[in-house]
């Protein structure tokens, strides 16, 4: 069993509070030393009470799912002898009411684009299978009821087959 932690810090300062006119900006501190500015989403709480430059929990949720999927995909591609040159994902999460009328992240659509070197070229079916395996193995996808879909694209970099 593994354990993961994050420290979340917020201070009111001298702003009012009970009138709901307080900053939602806060900080996430991770055990490796990363510090991330965070805030509520400006779509949920208007500026200036939200900080649009901070990462909001909804964005972090989408990024965490996309990151977990990517890490599994990279390990599966390497195991299968396919050299990945780049991996980019423009993932999108949808916040909507669930069947109980509660707002939740109802769906996350991963849209990874992978560039492989031409040393060993995967078929489109192999790419789909690796993404399916990554989805099945992803700890976070296995932890949520959100529908997570993947729409991968890929290409072969024929210029860079020497770096496999």
Domains in the chain, start-ordered, CATH in brackets?
A: 1-55 (no CATH), 57-163 (3.30.300.20)
Give how far Cα 78 sits from Cα of 57, 59, 75, Å.
31, 28, 5
In contact, 80 and 122? CB cutoff 8 Å: yes
* pTM confidence score: 0.91
Query: Band of the pLDDT at 160, cuts 50, 70, 90?
Result: low
Under 8 Å between Cβ of 83 and 115: no
Q: What is the pLDDT of residue 9?
A: 97
Q: pLDDT for 43-95, tens place per residue? A: 999 999 999 999 999 999 999 999 999 999 999 999 999 999 999 999 999 99
CA–CA gap between residue 96 and residue 144 (Å, rounded): 15
């Amino acid at each position: 069993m593994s354990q993961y932690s994050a420290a979340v810090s917020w201070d009111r300062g001298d702003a009012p509070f009970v009138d709901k006119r307080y900053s939602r900006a806060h900080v996430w501190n991770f055990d490796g030393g990363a510090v991330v500015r965070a805030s509520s989403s400006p779509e949920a709480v208007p500026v200036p009470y939200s900080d649009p430059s901070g990462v909001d929990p909804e964005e972090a949720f989408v990024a965490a799912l996309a990151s977990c999927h990517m890490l599994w995909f990279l390990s599966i591609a390497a195991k299968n002898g396919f050299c990945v040159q780049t991996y980019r994902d423009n993932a999108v999460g949808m916040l909507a009411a669930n069947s109980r009328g509660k707002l939740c992240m109802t769906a996350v659509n991963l849209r990874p684009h992978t560039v492989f070197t031409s040393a060993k070229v995967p078929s489109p079916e192999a790419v789909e299978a690796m993404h399916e395996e990554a989805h099945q193995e992803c700890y976070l996808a296995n932890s949520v009821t959100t529908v997570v879909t993947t729409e991968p694209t890929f290409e072969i970099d024929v210029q860079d087959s020497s770096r496999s």
